[in-house]
A and B are shown apart, each in its own frame.
Chain A
Amino acid sequence: MLMYTLRRFLHMLPVFFGATLLVYFLVFATGDPIAALSGGKPMSEAVEANLRAQYNLDQPFWVQYGLYLKNLLTLDLGQTFSGQAVNDVVARAMPVTARLAVMALAIEAVFGIIFGVFAGLRKGKLFDSTVLVLSLVVISVPTFVLGFVLQYVVGVELRWTTPTVGSEAGWSDLILPAIVLGLVSLAYVIRLSRTQVAENLSADYVRTATAKGLSRPRVIIVHVLRNSMIPVVTFLGADLGMLMGGAIVTEGVFNVPGIGSVLLDAIKIGETPTVVAVVSVMVLIFVVANLIVDLLYALLDPRIRYA
């Protein structure tokens, strides 16, 4: 297990550096942010040159990337154009997004497994077909459309909640955005657990258990569910990383002051340091979440460790 953990950990490094290099290159290649900084109003060359120097934009690409990596390793993410430390920005926005992602995860886990298991147990029946069709609809509608529709119906028409999240972004404010954020994965969890349950119901060991004279609830809970949940738990773990990324759209729609909003703002004005810093943090979370999932999986299924 130790060797496996170490090996998996080493896999993280190229992924992390590769991803940040790619992002840095893309942001770098989309043009000079200083050119747009004054919104088309003139700027004297001396002022422009000074601004460029301030953000190392006058250096060649590799020097910039090197400086950025150096700062990253000393946990200094640089400064935004408005003069705040990117560390502070991330520290302020990250908890909000984490709260949102965890809520979305909880919603998709609870409802996804419940609906999925019941659908699996009643495979081919009306409930199953309805759930399947509905989940297909959810998967095929883009998140921002879903977000705007729910925002309008629940916030403007019904007035059950405010259309956007207030500055505090507390747990109760985040319910609607969390539902929107979790909805697509919810559909996947339903489909995944349904298939697993339906498959395991006809497995040999379930027949054996039934033949031994165990009661149906016992067979289902102890034998079917236990085995069906392994891939579902794996999916949920990996999804935590995905949710961080998906939060960009949802946060934009519901005006949640999280990391997605920060990233959107930074992209809009071409604020290279913030974009790269935030994306690096997201990549890191994604990579760590995946590492944990892989380790869990290996824990659950020993065969993986030797593969």
Chain B
Amino acid sequence: MRMNRVLQSVAVTSALALTLTACGGGEGGGENEATSGVVTAHNTEPQNGLIPSDTSEVGGGRVVEQIFQGLYSYAADSSLQEELAESVESEDNQTWTIKIKEGHTFSDGSEVTAHSFVDAWNYAADSDNAQKGSYFFEGFAGYSESDENGADELSGLTVVDDYTFTVELQQPESDFPLRLGYSAYMPLPEVAFEDMEAFGQAPVSNGPYVLAEDGWQHETQISLVPNEDYEGPREPANDGILFKIYDSYDSAYNDLLSDNLDVLDEMPPSALENYESDLEGRSVSQPYAGNATMVIPGYNENFQGEAGQLRRQAISMAFDRQQIIDQIFMGTKEVATEFTAPVLNGFSAEIPGNEVLEYNPEKAKELWDQANEISPWPEGEVLLYTSNTDGAGNKEYIEAITNQLRENLGIQAELDAKATFKEMRELANTDALPGISRAGWVGDYPSLYNFLGPLYGTGASSNDGRYSNPDFDAKLDEGLQAASVEEAATIFNEAQEILFEDLPVLPLWYQAKQAGWSTQVDNVELGWDGKVLYHQITKG
């Protein structure tokens, strides 16, 4: 009798177990990953549906760029290559006439026309649709006309005929064409507007690849197949891309080591020291259009006026950037010499005033003491350096900087740790940063202006430090009206001289991307933005 009860309980437990398992019986499926010619690549789960104007993070961005074709795309050296653009012209940098190539179609057979662009852009700009890329249309005429920010239809967009439309901007922008390779400016087929949410899960598109049937298996993989109808510079050299979705870079790295994954475009911190020897010539480390800075908010009283300016310079010279890069990032970054990024056309490392970025502890201490004579640092006040600690290396490098500030300036400086990125963003958005704040920028499009205007222009959207200087704004305007991109670059670099005087932020270093690949693939190359040029990878 007793024994029966024990058996009974075992039976009940196993029955429960079986029921739980049975729920999942038919699950599974998916393409055979070993299919030769299909490149497997690392990815993270996209945070949004695969809608070009709603994708602002890399997980979705990687996919969107492969499956959509816009007016231009960017070559590895950041130059524009024509996709659908026949011509993009303007006489005054303010009204642009865009002609597109005829005879291109979406994967549902509908034709790509001027309407495909204009409708998609109007949709993206309308704040009712809450698209995360809507800020890309801020400069268009009509953006702020109604509906608070983002009119239902931009008055600046006009369809001329099936293959021609015009864009009117609020002010001249000499680098406007450079923007047009970015994914927020991709066209959408008519079917998208019927049910955008459903479209985001299985988009109909026109890129070098299209999503395979049931291609997006959430949290697992995204399968792309070459688009037979694609014509353009990014003709696929492989039989498709299978993005495998990972939670951890460490496990992806182990997959790479055992040829279970073909392309990994970010090394886990634990592998930075030895990935080059592990992979034996199958890796690359390359700077991309991204930098790291520390923001000193203009609303912080200790950093205002003449004393504030001296303090900004003192802090900038009081720590050794190269040493921190070598010790904490294993030499995988490059010391900053200005406010943009070295991969951009027009970049100059010789901007007057940039000597404040050099390590000089004696001078730093001198400047700090001078500042204290004008207006003393408040007794007992700790200089806080706010950062989220959920990103790799943030905590370590900030502690190294604050250590050096303590030592070289004789002040109290500490990391003000926030557990999550969103907590830090909330402080920045509400002008509540208690001291310095960690920041950085990754270019949306390869233009110097993109690293200056949105960050330091008066009232600009990403101006966390609330910096404002009319002279700087005037320089930006002048650059935007320049006759050519080259001329504009010269003027933007002059604008940077003003930044070196005011130091609204302290440039730290330029970001570099490390990528590795398996023994199965060749021709892995990174673009100007650090993204892998997937279409040119060959396998087998």
Contacts and interface: CB of A to CB of B under 8 A. Distances in A.
Interface of A: 30-33, 35-47, 50-51, 54, 81-84, 89, 92-96, 98-99, 101-102, 105-106, 148, 151-152, 155-156, 159, 162-164, 166-170, 222, 226, 229-230, 233, 236-237, 240, 251-255, 257, 261-262, 264-265, 268-270, 292, 296, 299-300
Given A83-B200, A255-B251, A262 B219 contact: yes
B260 A164 contact: yes
Contacts of B359: none
Contact of A44 (B13, B30, B48, B150): B150
Nearest to B2: A226
Contact of B130 (A47, A82, A151, A167): A47
* For the complex of A and B, 7 pairs with smallest distance between CB atoms: A95-B24, A42-B461, A36-B422, A46-B127, A163-B254, A50-B130, A35-B425
A37 to B, nearest CB: 7
B46 interface: yes
Given A44-B127, A47-B131, A81-B47, A98 B24 contact: yes
Interface in B437-477: 439-440, 444, 454, 460-462
Given A41-B462, A233-B10, A170 B422 contact: no
A251 B251 CA distance: 10
Interface string B6-21: 1011101100111011
A52 to B, nearest CB: 9
Nearest to A41: B56
B56 to A, nearest CB: 4
21 contacts: A37-B132, A43-B132, A44-B135, A82-B45, A82-B47, A92-B219, A102-B17, A102-B20, A159-B258, A164-B260, A166-B30, A167-B221, A168-B29, A168-B30, A230-B6, A237-B9, A240-B13, A253-B248, A254-B251, A265-B45, A300-B6
Contacts of A40: 421, 425, 439-440, 462
A79 B16 CA distance: 29
A33 B425 CA distance: 10
Contact of A296 (B12, B131, B260, B454): B12
Interface residues of B, number: 80
Most buried by B among A84, A95, A105, A237: A95
B36 interface: no
A233 B251 contact: no
Given A84-B218, A92-B27, A300 B5 contact: yes
A149 to B, nearest CB: 11
A208 B419 CA distance: 62
B394 interface: no
Interface in B239-265: 244-248, 250-252, 254-255, 257-258, 260
A255 B260 CA distance: 13
A253 to B, nearest CB: 6
A35 B426 contact: yes
A41 B439 CA distance: 11
A292 B419 CA distance: 38
A230 B2 CA distance: 11
Nearest to A257: B220
Given A35-B422, A163-B254, A94 B8 contact: no
A262 B245 CA distance: 11
Contacts of B47: 37, 81-82, 269
A162 B258 contact: yes
Nearest to B429: A35
Contacts of A229: 6
Contacts of B6: 226, 229-230, 233, 300
A240 B16 CA distance: 10
A251 B258 CA distance: 19
A56 to B, nearest CB: 14
A222 B16 CA distance: 26
B128 interface: yes
B462 A265 contact: no
Contacts of A233: 6, 9-10, 13
Given A31-B422, A96-B24, A82 B48 contact: yes
B247 A292 contact: no
B149 A46 contact: yes
Interface string B208-222: 000000000111110
